[in-house]
């Protein structure tokens, strides 16, 4: 049987090194694949005016599956300043290539699991009854709607007349913003569609059923954002009643959820939210299991079979120039395991996850974050493991 072809997209900064180390882990675990490199990220914005070239979209269209490192994104004005001078007169505007990937391929389902590793010194602890130190086990799967909401990209500064006139038909807009000059107004929309909302809700309930989670929590703000958050919760109630009555449905507001995060994180199973709130709550739970060095993600379209798998950390350019890479590759390794699950290579994924768990539990090899050091270039000299040394430890366990 021919090897599967995977599109590898290193991107920027530390994305390049964590991806290469992860490919070594995959190879050592017995995963056989051919890899083709896709161009994405800041360098292609600066030199071509497009951080997501069409040739990369074509590769993913053909091969369906991608491992993605990280990208650098900067605000509008900074992005323009770094654009090649011969491109600055062309009216180009930077937009996130990962958001572009999601929208181009309809990768509307984003899964971000947050699980405790036994022995991780970064695990959340709390003081229990009688001042006993308690370390709750976190096992949460967060489903984030990936293509709509505040990240949908429908926004304006100094909105065009037809948009402004439409907004003025809403009494709240007239009351609160009618006296503001049009040129001083910026508008970002939060759009939910029933089709995409149903897809993310069903994905969450199906995951809960498959992996025996007892509850699905809709984490939004329906008491204030009544139309969009309200629609999501109402649809969740209907879906739960019709098809998943054995799974409890909970409803939390995003602000309260962030407060409860450190009170009883072990009580939550599957959480589902729109784009922005899903981003927030997943980073919050990631903090309980060790931070972004352990935060993996999958974004996929179950109908087309296209999936992109990436750690949720950024490109961390200040670390990219260190003589020896110090960053924790586990988030990238775990993202690769999610890819393996997606393509029905669960046995290899389980082997890798066990190897990671064994390394963490043993505690002999710890990257700077696990050693609770500041991220400076000399941490390896002071006892922290480098990126390669952590990958080597995982490979040794394999």
* Domain-located, residue 341: yes
Name the average pLDDT for the chain.
95
> Per-residue pLDDT averaged across 346-351, rounded?
97
Please state whether beta strands 139-145 and 155-157 pair in parallel, antiparallel, or not at all (unpaired).
unpaired
Judge if 199 and 168 occupy the same domain: no
* Domain-located, residue 372: yes
Judge if 161 and 144 occupy the same domain: no
Judge if 173 and 93 occupy the same domain: no
Contacts of residue 87, Cβ cutoff 8 Å, sequence gap at least 6: 48, 49
Q: How far is CA 39 from the centre of its chain?
A: 20
Question: How far apart, in whole angstroms, are the C-alpha atoms of residue 288 and residue 283?
Answer: 9
pLDDT for 35: 97
Contacts of residue 352, Cβ cutoff 8 Å, sequence gap at least 6: 25, 26, 29, 333, 336, 337, 340, 394, 398
Among 96, 104, 276, residue whose Cα is nearest residue 190: 276
Among 322, 334, 329, 306, residue whose Cα is nearest residue 375: 322
* Domain-located, residue 115: no
Judge if 239 and 309 occupy the same domain: no
Judge if 144 and 159 occupy the same domain: no
Judge if 214 and 360 occupy the same domain: no
Give the end of a domain, one of 263, 288, 313: 288
**DSSP-derived 3-state class of residue 300:** strand
**DSSP-derived 3-state class of residue 93:** coil
Judge if 389 and 323 occupy the same domain: yes
> Per-residue pLDDT averaged across 327-345, rounded?
97
Query: What pTM, to 2 d.p., does this model score?
Result: 0.93
* Domain-located, residue 296: no
Structure-token pair, residue 189:
């929309």
Helix intervals (H) in the chain: 15-28, 42-48, 54-63, 76-82, 97-105, 161-168, 171-177, 194-210, 228-243, 254-260, 275-288, 317-320, 330-342, 346-362, 387-397
Structure-token pair, residue 181:
């000059």
* Domain-located, residue 118: no
Give the end of a domain, one of 242, 258, 288: 288
Judge if 100 and 31 occupy the same domain: yes
Contacts of residue 285, Cβ cutoff 8 Å, sequence gap at least 6: 112, 114, 138, 140, 142, 261, 265, 271
pLDDT(102) > 80: yes
CB 114 within 8 A of CB 286: yes
pLDDT for 1: 46
pLDDT for 308: 98
* Domain-located, residue 117: no
Domain that holds residue 31: 1-110+302-398
Judge if 136 and 178 occupy the same domain: no
Judge if 177 and 308 occupy the same domain: no
Judge if 145 and 159 occupy the same domain: no
Judge if 171 and 201 occupy the same domain: no
Secondary structure element (H or E) that encloses residue 133, with its range: strand 133-134
**Residue that wins the pLDDT comparison between 239 and 91:** 239
**DSSP-derived 3-state class of residue 216:** strand
Q: Name the domain count of the chain.
A: 3
pLDDT, one tens digit per residue, over 206-257 is 999 999 999 999 999 999 999 999 999 999 999 999 999 999 999 999 999 9
The enclosing domain of 85 has a CATH number of 3.40.718.10
Query: For the chain, what is the largest distance between any 2 Cα atoms, rounded to a whole number of angstroms?
Result: 68
Give the end of a domain, one of 169, 188, 207: 188
* Domain-located, residue 297: no
Question: How far apart, in whole angstroms, are the C-alpha atoms of residue 177 and residue 27?
Answer: 58
DSSP state of 214: S
The enclosing domain of 273 has a CATH number of 3.40.50
What burial class does residue 294 get, using C-beta atoms within 10 Å of its C-beta: 0-12 exposed, 13-18 middle, 19+ buried? buried
* Domain-located, residue 293: no
CB 144 within 8 A of CB 197: no
């Amino acid at each position: 049987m021919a090897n599967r072809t995977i599109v590898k997209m290193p991107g920027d900064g530390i994305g390049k090194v964590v991806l290469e180390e992860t490919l070594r882990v995959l190879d050592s675990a017995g995963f056989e694949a051919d890899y083709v490199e896709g161009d994405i990220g800041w360098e292609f914005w600066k030199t071509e005016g497009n951080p997501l070239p069409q040739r990369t979209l074509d590769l993913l269209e053909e091969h369906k599956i991608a491992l993605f490192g990280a990208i650098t994104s900067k605000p509008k004005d900074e992005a323009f300043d770094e654009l090649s001078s011969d491109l600055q007169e062309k009216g180009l505007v930077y937009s996130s290539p990962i958001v572009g990937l999601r929208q181009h391929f309809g990768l509307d389902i984003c899964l971000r699991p947050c699980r405790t590793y036994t022995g991780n010194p970064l695990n959340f602890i709390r003081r229990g009854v009688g001042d006993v130190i308690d370390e709750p086990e976190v096992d949460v799967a967060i489903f984030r709607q990936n293509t709509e909401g505040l990240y949908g990209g429908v926004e304006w500064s100094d909105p065009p007349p037809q948009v402004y006139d439409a907004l003025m038909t809403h009494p709240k807009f007239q009351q609160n913003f009618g006296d503001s000059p049009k040129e001083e107004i910026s508008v970002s929309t939060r759009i939910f569609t029933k089709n995409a909302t149903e897809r993310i809700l069903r994905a969450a309930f199906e995951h809960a059923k498959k992996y025996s989670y007892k509850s699905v929590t809709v984490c939004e703000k329906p008491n204030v954002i009544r139309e969009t958050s309200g629609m999501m919760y109402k649809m969740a109630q209907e879906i739960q009643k019709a098809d998943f009555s054995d799974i409890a449905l909970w409803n939390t507001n995003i602000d309260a959820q962030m407060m409860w995060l450190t009170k009883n994180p072990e009580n939550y199973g599957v959480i589902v939210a729109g784009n922005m709130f899903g981003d927030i709550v997943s980073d919050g739970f990631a903090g309980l299991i060790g931070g972004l060095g352990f935060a993996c993600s999958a974004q996929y379209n179950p109908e087309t079979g296209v999936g992109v798998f990436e750690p949720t950390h950024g490109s961390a350019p200040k670390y990219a120039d260190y003589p020896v890479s110090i960053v924790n590759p586990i988030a990238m390794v775990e993202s690769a395991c999610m890819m393996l699950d997606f393509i029905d290579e669960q046995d290899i994924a389980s082997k890798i996850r066990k190897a990671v768990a064994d390394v963490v539990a043993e505690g002999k090899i710890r990257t700077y974050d696990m050693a609770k050091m500041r991220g400076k270039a000399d941490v390896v000299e002071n006892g922290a493991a480098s990126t390669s040394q952590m990958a080597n430890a995982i490979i040794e366990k394999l």
